[in-house]
Structure 1
C-alpha cells in the first residue's frame, strides 16, 4: 500500500513575541484535520492529502489573524470543492482556494481599519494519487528530497527571489542581501495575485518539506538536507528542523511540515533520477 506519513510543527522562535505562522494538515476525503491518526497516515489513491503553511505579516496589523484566515479558508474552500475527480479539478480547486483566501483577508482588513497592512504567504500542497501539486504565493517554500538531493520546488516571490531567478544574485549572496525580506506577493495585500502551481510525479522514498522562512532564514539548504537525511521519521524530522532553527538564533517564527511517501505502488526512482518540475503561473482576482 502506497501511503504518506505526515507531521507538522510550529515554534515561536527566540525573538518574536507571538507566533504569526499557521499550518493545516488534512485528509480531504474524510474532512479530518489536525495531527491525528487519520491525517498523519494516509493511503495514496483513495483521497486527497492537504498540507498548508502560512506565514503572517503585519505585526500589530494582525499577521497572526491573516495566517489563520488563510489556512482556514484554504481548508474550507477545498472541502467545498470535493470530490476532486481528476488532475485538472485539483488545480482548479487550489486556485479557487487561494483566491478565496486572498478575498477573505482583504475583506477582514477593510472591515477592521486598524488591521490594514495585514497579509500572509501561502504554500499549499495537494497529493492526488501519486502526483504532487504545490501552490505558492510569497516566500514560504516547498522542497522535495529524493535520495540525497534536495530540490526547491517553489519560487520565492520576493525581491531576492526574483534577483536569484534572473541570475543577478547567487543563493548564497541572497542570504545576506539587504532587502531579502521584501515580498513581491502576499495574500490580503492586493486584489490581484499571481500564484504559481508546481506539479511533480512522486517516487518511492520522496520526502516533502513545507516551511516558513523561519527555517530557511537561519539554516542553509545543506543543513536542512543533512537533518532530513539523519531523521527519516516525520515527527523527529520536524522537531530536529525547528530546534536547529532556534539554535541558530530563531529570529522568526518557524513552521515545518514533512511528508514521507513510502509503500508498494509508488514508482522506484531510476538511479539518481532528478525531480522533474512542471510549473505554471496564474493571474487571479
Structure 2
C-alpha cells in the first residue's frame, strides 16, 4: 500500500514491490519502501549461494538506519557552515559508503560470503530537491509529461567500453561481457558513490528499479505502464507482471515515487 510524506509544500508518495522472477532460485533483491521519511532504496545482490541477498539486505538496513540516526542527531552532525545541498550530498555518500564497509567486513569474517556484493540506488527527498546515491547497474528514471529520462548511468563494462572507444550503443550490443558490473558495493574496502541531485516539481514520477525490470522492458514500455493508472501500487504490480511476461530472467524490483499537491 502506498505511503506519502510532506516534503516542504509538496506531498511525495511511494509504492514498491520486489519479485523473484521466473528463472532464479532465490530473490537477491531488497527494497526499502519508506515508513518514516522520504527515503527509498533498491539493492540488487550478487554473489550466489544466497550471499547476494545478504549484501543487499545489509545495504538497505544500513542506509535506513544511518538516515534515522542522522535525522535524530540534528544539526550538530554536520559542519555548521555547509549549505543544506552539500550536507545532503555528503549524507547520501556516507550512508552508502558505510553499507559498503559493512558488506566488506561481513564477507571478510565469513568465507562462505566471500565475493558477495550488490548494486544500490537510494533516493531521498528534502527541501525541494531529490538526492540519488548510485552504484552499479540498477537505475533511476524520471518521468515528466510524455518523457522518460534515465538519471543514472550504469557502471557496466559496456558503458566503460563505449566511452573509451567512442562507440554507439548499437555498435556495442554484441560486445562480450557487456553486462558485467564494474562498480558495486562490497567488492573493495572503498567505493565511489555517484550522487545526483536536482529540483523536483509537482507531477514528476520517479522509477527506481533493478536490472531485472530495465533489462526486460524498454524505457517507453516502463513509462507507459507507470503512467497508465493513478494507483502506484497497481503500476508496480503491472511492471513486475510485464517483466515476468517478457521472460522474468532475473529478480525484479520497482519503486515508484510521485510528487503531488498537498
Taking structure 1 as the reference length, the TM-score comes to 0.81
Structure 2: 5+ residue runs without aligned partners?
1-8, 76-83
What's the offset of the Cα at 1:240? 1.0
CA separation in 2, counterparts of 1:57 and 1:167? Answer: 28
- Residue 167 of structure 1: how far off its partner (Å): 6.9
The SS at the match of 1:81 is helix
Q: 1:233-244 alignment to 2 at 5 Å?
A: 233-244=231-242
Match of 1:210 in 2: 208
**CA-to-aligned-CA distance 1:103-150 (integer Å, 9 cap, x gap):** 100111011111101001010001002211111000000111000100
Asked if residue 14 in structure 1 is aligned to residue 22 in structure 2, the reply is: yes
| Residues 101, 190 of structure 2: 8 Å contact kept | no
Residue of structure 2 in register with 1:49 after alignment: 38
TM superposition shift of 1:26: 2.2
1:71 to 46, 54, 60: 60
Query: Which residue of 2 is the match for residue 127 of structure 1?
Result: 125
Residue in 1 that maps onto 2:159? 161
Q: CA deviation at 1:52?
A: 0.4
**Whole-angstrom distance in 2 between the partners of 1:26 and 1:171:** 35
The separation in 1 between residues aligned to 2:15 and 2:112, in whole angstroms, is 35
The superposition leaves residues 214-266 of structure 1 with CA deviations (integer Å, 9 ceiling, x where unpaired) of 001111112111212213321111111111100000000000000010105xx
Question: How big is the shift at 1:165?
Answer: 4.7
Give me the TM-score of the superposition, normalised by structure 2.
Answer: 0.88
User: In the alignment, which residue of structure 1 is the partner of 2:180?
Assistant: 182
Would you say the 8 A contact 1:156–1:162 is kept in 2?
no
- Which of 227, 230, 248 is equivalent to 1:229? 227
SS in 2 for 1:210: strand
Separation (CA, whole Å) in 2 of partners of 1:156 and 1:258: 19
**RMSD of aligned C-alpha atoms?**
1.8
Structure 1 residue 198, shift from structure 2 partner = 0.7
Is this contact kept in 2: 1:61–1:116, CA < 8 A?
A: no
Q: Which runs of 5+ in 1 are unaligned?
A: 33-47, 265-285
The answer as to 2:32 corresponding to 1:24 is: yes
- SS in structure 1 of the partner of residue 141 of structure 2: strand
Partner residue in 2 for 1:59: 48
Q: C-alpha displacement at 1:2, in angstroms?
A: 1.9
| Alpha-carbon distance in 2 for matches of 1:204, 1:167 | 40
Asked if 2 retains the 8 angstrom alpha-carbon contact of 1:208 and 1:258, the reply is yes
